[in-house]
Amino acid sequence: MSIDNSGDQKKINGRFYTPERLADLLINNCDELLSARKTGNLVLDPSCGDGALIKSVQRRFGDAVVCYGCDVSPKPMCVGKLRFKQGDFFDYPVRKKFSLIVTNPPYVRFALNVSHSGMWYAKSRYSDVRLDKRTDLWAYFLLKSMDMLRDGGEIAAILPWSFFFTDYAASIRSIISDQFGKIVVQVLSEACFSDTQQKVILLWLKNYGKKCVRFEVGYSSGGELHHEMHIESSLSSWLDGSCMRPAAQIDVAHKNVCKMEDVSTIRIGTVPGSSKFFIWDRKSALRKNSRLTDFVPILTSSRDVVALRTGALPSDKYQYLLLLNEKNRRRYESEIEDGEKKGCNLPSHCAKRDPWYSIKVIDQEKRDAFFTYRVASLPVLILNDEGFCCTNSLHYVAFNDNISAEKKKWIQVSLLSVFSLVDVEYNARVYGSNVLKVEPSALKKVRVYCPDCPLSPKVYDEISALVEKGERQQVIITASICIFKAMHLDRNVVQTICTTYNHLRQQRMGCDGVIDFGALYQAIDLFAR
């Protein structure tokens, strides 16, 4: 989707002006209420910026509407007849009611941007919504906008994909379903703003004051921006966010297929709370404790995991986590005192500990492998042969006692194949810049193939070499050939799995996410003969 939105249009505080074509797409689906009234329709844009949405409203409805705008900017650009109020939207009087509210609110975190008036307002009105410093500002705009509607009114909003992926948004969706008779969503799989990779949805909330009786969803992909047909879907898909996954999961019955939760326990990595206090380089750790008995080697990123696997992370570059207890704390009294002076004891994870510097790391036998947490293209499971721990940028994977070394290799390869990756795409969350966030709850649901038979060392080494070289697409194809051949799956089933995987990747990454599986299909055909 190619929409011009040049750098000088960028709004302050993480906001971007709305491109005209996107504004028109949003407004053109607001006919139901406005067409019912000849005159007297009041329209508000609570963060109007240069007035792109208001201009679109005026082009569409002319004198049938009276337009209002609010923004912290000194003044909006010239927009016909606009009753503009400069200031914070959360100070805007709630007593004034509108037929339609149109908004492209800022997406930045609330705590970084705005006074506490918005948080106080939202919490006082919607105590069931879990709001904290990580909550984006759009959530507060949406909640207040609902209180400024007339009965039967509408909201038309441009919101980030996080509307369907954050925990606090789930409770907001529940509130919306109780207050709007009809909900329509259009998912845009391409970035709409040239200055950011933030992907958005279009949301229309209609017939305020009624419980939802109809939910519709449509999907736009590729480079064109246009209206897709909105298909009626279940309200449950709105509430649980599954409407963001247009492809259904594929059932494959096979005796050697199980879920990750059946073969392992998955935990979030260690959270230090204050890296500058707890994480030391090797040289500093050796100077303090020559045998490193007070430290455990730690990995802090997925890059470290791959570097360790390829040998690109030599021992002199290892980082170490300081483990303090009653026996060794006296040796570190000066470091503890200095850390408290620097405020290392204040972050929430440290403040919850007693004492604040007492980190507990799970036992070594419970960290058999690492799995990448946030990933743009290919998540990887790497065996932990050297006893490392990891920060929460990675997951610990502890295999069940009955999982042999050979089965672990099969699981590794399976997680690199389309068979398992389609589950990863389906269950994980998606954030800005196309990043896939694989929570432990998502990884537990991923199906893997792990038979009792040996895995060819040649194939395993070939796939490992491709991982080390960073040849992601070839990794996926080679691993998939290995798994699908071993499973003896029909070509039609393989093609369905691959098509579903490409569908999910395209929604997340655009056309760049599509993989050519021609070589995979040829290999399966040859095997079938």
Q: Which pLDDT does position 512 carry in this prediction?
A: 79
Q: Which amino acid is at 71?
A: D
Q: Which pLDDT does position 60 carry in this prediction?
A: 87
Least confident of 156-170, 182-196, 490-504: 182-196
As a whole number of angstroms, the distance between CA 191 and CA 200 comes to 7
Determine how β-strand 319-322 pairs with β-strand 374-375: unpaired
For the segment 376-387, the average pLDDT, to the nearest whole number, is: 86
Q: Look up the pTM and report it.
A: 0.79
The CA-CA-CA angle for residues 4, 431, 54, to 5°, reads 40
As a whole number of angstroms, the distance between CA 455 and CA 446 comes to 21
Q: For residue 310, what are the CA distances in angstroms to 163, 306, 380?
A: 38, 6, 13
- Is residue 458 a contact partner of residue 423, using CB atoms and an 8 Å limit? no
Q: Where are the domains of the chain?
A: 7-244, 249-264+405-529
**pLDDT tens per residue across span 53-110:** 999 998 888 888 899 999 887 665 656 678 888 888 888 888 889 999 999 998 876 5
For the segment 383-403, the average pLDDT, to the nearest whole number, is: 92
Chain Cα centroid distance, residue 232 = 25
Burial class of residue 396, CB neighbours in 10 A (0-12, 13-18, 19+) = buried
Determine how β-strand 435-437 pairs with β-strand 98-103: unpaired
| Residue 394, token pair as written in the block | 């990675």
As a whole number of angstroms, the distance between CA 419 and CA 417 comes to 5
Would you place residue 188 in the very low, low, confident or very high pLDDT band (cuts 50, 70, 90)?
A: confident
Task: Please give the residue that has the higher pLDDT: either 179 or 511.
Answer: 179
Chain Cα centroid distance, residue 488 = 34
Residue 171: what are its φ and ψ, rounded to 5°?
A: -70, -30
Q: Which pLDDT does position 5 carry in this prediction?
A: 37
| CATH 3.40.50.300 describes domain 7-244 | no
For 266-300, the DSSP string reads EEEPB--S-HHHHEEEHHHHHHH-TT-TTEEEEE-
Q: For residue 322, what are the CA distances in angstroms to 147, 328, 339?
A: 51, 11, 13
Q: Which pLDDT does position 364 carry in this prediction?
A: 85
